[in-house]
Chain A
Amino acid sequence: MSETPILWIVTLAAVALTLWRARRYIAVLAQAPGASRFDQPWRRLEGVAIAVGLHRKMLRKPLSGILHALIFVSFFVLFTVTIEAFGSRLFPGFSLAPVGGDTWIALLQDVFAVLMLVGLGLAVYQRYVLKPARFRGSSGSDAAIIYVLILLIVSSLLIEAGARIVGGADGSWRPVASLVADLLRSLNVPVYPTEQIAYWIHIGAILAFLVYIPGSKHRHMFLAAPNIYFRNLEPVGTAPAVPSERENPGVASLAQFDWKQQLDLLSCTECGRCQAVCPAYASGLPLSPKMLITDMRDALANGSSDTLVGGVIAEETLWACTTCRACMEACPVEIEHLPKIIDMRRHLVDEGHVSPMLQDALTNLTRLGNSMGKPSKMRARWTKDLGFPVKDARSEPVDVLWFVGDYASYDPRVQDVTRKVAELFAAAGVDFGILFDAERNSGNDVRRVGEEGLFETLAQSNIDAIRACSFNRIVTTDPHSLNALKNDYRHFGGEFEVLHYTALLAELVTAGRLDIAQAGGDLVTYHDPCYLGRYNGGFDAPRDLIRAAGYVLHDMPRCRENSFCCGAGGGRIWQGDDGVKERPSENRIREALGLDVGIFVVACPKDKVMYTAATDALGVAGKLKIVDVAELISLREAPAVESFDARVDGGAAGA
């Protein structure tokens, strides 16, 4: 009975120490700028339930997901042991027996103690035998300490239970503890001391664990659910708006990030799934989304006064990002890597720290509304080689306003595809028009490069031009433009219904307005563009079109939400290849070459450009053709063709 005061003292001391260790984080979060993440509580809770309860993202890596689920559930069940252990000696007379503590709860405790050890064993196997690459850069000691502590906790609870059984307690509901009891008997250990020692080791290990948590990635035990709860419910395609209280558009220090962005840093489990899918990391550039978060977290923990941008986080790290969002898609605790990168880029841009190539692109965009430096009046020159005139949406009402996009308009490698799309629209009788030289770059990548001021200018100009037109829907051939028009422009009062052209074509095919010639079942693969797929959920329309055209689709292993970025986004196409060991586009082509297909289908102008260059660089241009979805489609009115580069003849067009 004299144990009670000791236990009280020890427990309270441990709790105090824990809070004291956590004080820095609590203060930081309390002082951080606000974030409005308190809306739609039911939807938020649902997300937590799916993430935590169903382990949805965790199970994408099956071994990892299962072992984590085992450990996770065991933690909850074994928490009853903790309740009993502490409760019985803090409040003498407390026991779980009335609710089944000696019966079904006891059984569960036994079973889950074993399952916990199984999970632990699998974790050790994964970490030390399989050694997944995604753990590179994660803290090894943190993991090791946790393994040791869990082992201590579980073994001490089993030994204590076993010792009690030796001492005469009822072991009928504790099969595993009974086995331990047998073992103890055979070793002839003194019962009472064993039980006491095991008990205090159990208590000690639990309290040590508690005290350890604030400084370890195991904070996630407490922070994962809240972090998921407070996740961003805005459409994923929207870049973070600049809060009006901020003087400069960017973030220069940790303290300027709002409390959710900082909570992210504390919630990171160092699992490395983000690192594993990052195209910049894969190409050899100095960006690991995981290290980005942990470096910022360490700076937060140390209260470091080092500069954040250019100090804690190197400039090259920030510029390496393609903004593909694979990291956020992979993160099981909903950490937001991308808004942090964009906010820090905004700071760099404001200070003028941009590379010469990027500076050229931004200057061209400011002056001419396109990144290539071509005259704005040449934007619609591609229409000259069509067999028919294109309506000017600025002066005539149209059903569909076609926002063409920079690369689709200006780049000679893509103009053929743009013309093909026009011919398909015409053949299907779509009433469409374009903005001619009133169209400017949508600003999607300008915003993501951190040039918020220029983005506002471009957005406002486009919104004004679009509003002056009379139309029902907007269609675009460029997924980046799609994203900006549909999502980012909402921050500036532009609410438009925007479709990718594959969605429109799919509609037309379903409505029977496009009679497509059937190819002979050639094997193709399809690359999901980041901004169409992962960002805006457009996975199916292109696939439907490919099948409707009579091709057989073999998806690459990394497809749909897990598609691997071509490396051009986030302004990377405006930067040099310095430091790149393997271009992401070449990495992707190699993946496709493993599939025995002859055609690599794309649905984005930048993909067309990047992958054509990649097949040239790899010397496989003869083996794998890079073809846009539109180029696959031939209409039946044309003479029977099997090749994807047949064109619709003038008679069918202009309808």
Chain B
Amino acid sequence: MRIVACTEGSFGKLEPFSLEMITAARMAGAAGDEVVAFFAGQELEPAVANLGAADRLVAASAGGSQLIAAESYARLLADTVAAEEPGLVLVPYSANGLDVAGDLAARTGWPLVSYVNEIRRDGDRLTVVAQVYGGKILAECSVPLPAVLMVNPGAFAEVERRAVDVSKVQHCDATAIVAEGKVRLVGVDVPNYDSVDLTTADRIVCVGRGIGDEASIDIARGLADILGAEIAGSRPVVDSGWLPKVRQVGKSGQKVKPKLYLALGVSGAPEHLEGMSKSDLIIAVNTDPKAPIFNVAHFGATCDLFDLVANLSERLQAASGR
């Protein structure tokens, strides 16, 4: 069977989860199944330079636009699927993927399972394990083929990066499709990394809903200063306007890998974990002992975060003789 693994990239970079999609495709396939990487974006270079682990690359580029709207991506994917007739299409769980996966499933009528963490081939069906209820429950599902799966970033390992052999690249020009689209890109906002770039920070103190209100963030800032850490926030904190977007950690924010990640009052929704689970040392404080953040934390505590910050600040300052 043929498997199409969807990949994404923009601003000259390939999204790391693209490499995970190929791994997932290999797991879903039996030996000898062809894995075709699909890419649609602005420039081809990131895809061509990295997706060599796939058997083939079908890539569409639209040149001029800064990034490609999901509408065009989905259209191009649909055309590719019609031409390639795969038994399985893997779409990553990303902003783009949320539109693309369901679109393809509706067009083709194929079954779709979202938020997939594990894939196993069972003859002419697949058995997948997916997250429901924000990760509180895992659903084992049996999926008839052909099908579409929306796969969680971080669930599979990255395949190794290498260049795609020129003979294996099928390039199509997406310019016309983008121009016909009913969704027209009129502007892109990139956060100003001059002020702060969490992705390069060595130490991060992240506050979640448990911080309570904007003024209380100062308390966490005090500890961050002592630790020489950047202050960051989970999505609810940024949505409430208590911290700027550049300081958001998570799926729709920054993906960080600092040496120290201290999570205060963060519950650990899967979208947040996606942004920080690879940090070297994760310490989490949350009064709910069942908070999912504890699944990735190396050290966890269920005391009140304000009490802890006060006590810890005191000890750190005493230790450094300040």
Q: Within 8 Å CB of B215, what residues of A?
A: 576-578
B105 to chain A, nearest CB (A): 34
Which partner residue on chain A sits nearest B314 by CB separation? Answer: A619
A616 beta carbon closer than 8 Å to chain B: yes
Total inter-chain residue pairs, C-beta < 8 Å: 17
A578, B310: Cα distance in complex, Å: 18
**Chain A facing B: main interface SS:** helix
A357 beta carbon closer than 8 Å to chain B: yes
**Interface positions of A from 331 to 382, Cβ below 8 Å from B:** 356-357
The answer to whether B310 and A617 touch across the interface, beta carbons within 8 angstroms, is: yes
The residue that A577 contacts in the complex, of B216, B240, B307, B310, with Cβ under 8 A, is: B216
Q: Within 8 Å CB of B216, what residues of A?
A: 576-577
A629, B310: Cα distance in complex, Å: 29
The residue that B307 contacts in the complex, of A356, A578, A616, with Cβ under 8 A, is: A616
B213 beta carbon closer than 8 Å to chain A: yes
The answer to whether B212 and A576 touch across the interface, beta carbons within 8 angstroms, is: yes
B221 to chain A, nearest CB (A): 15
A356, B214: Cα distance in complex, Å: 11
A576, B307: Cα distance in complex, Å: 17
Q: Within 8 Å CB of B240, what residues of A?
A: 356
0/1 interface trace, chain A 577-617, chain B, CB 8 Å (1 if under): 11000000000000000000000000000000000000011
Interface size class of B (residues with CB under 8 A): under 10
B57 to chain A, nearest CB (A): 47
Q: Within 8 Å CB of A578, what residues of B?
A: 213-215
B290 to chain A, nearest CB (A): 13
**Interface positions of B from 300 to 322, Cβ below 8 Å from A:** 307, 310
Interface size class of A (residues with CB under 8 A): under 10
Q: Within 8 Å CB of B213, what residues of A?
A: 357, 576-578
A226 to chain B, nearest CB (A): 45
A616, B306: Cα distance in complex, Å: 10
**Interface positions of B from 224 to 266, Cβ below 8 Å from A:** 240
A319 to chain B, nearest CB (A): 13
Q: Within 8 Å CB of A357, what residues of B?
A: 212-213
A506 to chain B, nearest CB (A): 34
A616, B303: Cα distance in complex, Å: 13
A617, B311: Cα distance in complex, Å: 10
**Interface positions of B from 191 to 223, Cβ below 8 Å from A:** 212-216
B162 to chain A, nearest CB (A): 49
**Interface positions of A from 175 to 226, Cβ below 8 Å from B:** none
B253 to chain A, nearest CB (A): 20
A445, B213: Cα distance in complex, Å: 21
Q: Within 8 Å CB of B310, what residues of A?
A: 616-617
Q: Within 8 Å CB of B214, what residues of A?
A: 576, 578
A615, B235: Cα distance in complex, Å: 33
Q: Within 8 Å CB of A616, what residues of B?
A: 307, 310
**Interface positions of A from 283 to 334, Cβ below 8 Å from B:** none
A232, B310: Cα distance in complex, Å: 47
A617, B213: Cα distance in complex, Å: 18
**Interface positions of A from 467 to 502, Cβ below 8 Å from B:** none
Q: Within 8 Å CB of B307, what residues of A?
A: 616
A578, B215: Cα distance in complex, Å: 6
A392 to chain B, nearest CB (A): 28
Which partner residue on chain A sits nearest B213 by CB separation? Answer: A576
**Interface positions of A from 547 to 582, Cβ below 8 Å from B:** 576-578
Q: Within 8 Å CB of A576, what residues of B?
A: 212-216
Which partner residue on chain A sits nearest B215 by CB separation? Answer: A578
B304 to chain A, nearest CB (A): 8
Which partner residue on chain B sits nearest A619 by CB separation? Answer: B310
B222 to chain A, nearest CB (A): 14
Which partner residue on chain B sits nearest A412 by CB separation? Answer: B287
Which partner residue on chain B sits nearest A578 by CB separation? Answer: B215
Q: Within 8 Å CB of A356, what residues of B?
A: 240
A616, B308: Cα distance in complex, Å: 11
Which partner residue on chain A sits nearest B241 by CB separation? Answer: A356
Q: Within 8 Å CB of B212, what residues of A?
A: 357, 576
Q: Within 8 Å CB of A617, what residues of B?
A: 310
Which partner residue on chain A sits nearest B307 by CB separation? Answer: A616
B135 to chain A, nearest CB (A): 19
A576, B216: Cα distance in complex, Å: 9
A578, B307: Cα distance in complex, Å: 18
A581, B81: Cα distance in complex, Å: 64
A107 to chain B, nearest CB (A): 65
A421 to chain B, nearest CB (A): 24
A291, B307: Cα distance in complex, Å: 36
0/1 interface trace, chain A 140-168, chain B, CB 8 Å (1 if under): 00000000000000000000000000000
A356, B213: Cα distance in complex, Å: 9
A333, B292: Cα distance in complex, Å: 58
A616, B212: Cα distance in complex, Å: 18
Which partner residue on chain B sits nearest A576 by CB separation? Answer: B213
A235, B216: Cα distance in complex, Å: 39
Which partner residue on chain B sits nearest A575 by CB separation? Answer: B213
Which partner residue on chain A sits nearest B287 by CB separation? Answer: A412
A357, B216: Cα distance in complex, Å: 13
A578, B240: Cα distance in complex, Å: 15
A617, B309: Cα distance in complex, Å: 11
A617, B307: Cα distance in complex, Å: 8
A356, B236: Cα distance in complex, Å: 12
A356, B212: Cα distance in complex, Å: 10
A490 to chain B, nearest CB (A): 36
A577, B307: Cα distance in complex, Å: 16
A357, B240: Cα distance in complex, Å: 11
A578, B217: Cα distance in complex, Å: 11
A626 to chain B, nearest CB (A): 15
11 A-B pairs besides A357-B212, A578-B213 with CB distance below 8 A are A357-B213, A576-B212, A576-B213, A576-B215, A576-B216, A577-B215, A577-B216, A578-B214, A578-B215, A616-B307, A616-B310
**11 A-B pairs with C-beta separation under 8 A:** A357-B212, A576-B212, A576-B213, A576-B214, A576-B215, A577-B213, A577-B215, A577-B216, A578-B214, A616-B310, A617-B310
Which residue numbers of A lie inside 8 Å of B, CB to CB?
A: 356-357, 576-578, 616-617
4 tightest A-B contacts by CB? A576-B213, A578-B215, A616-B307, A576-B215
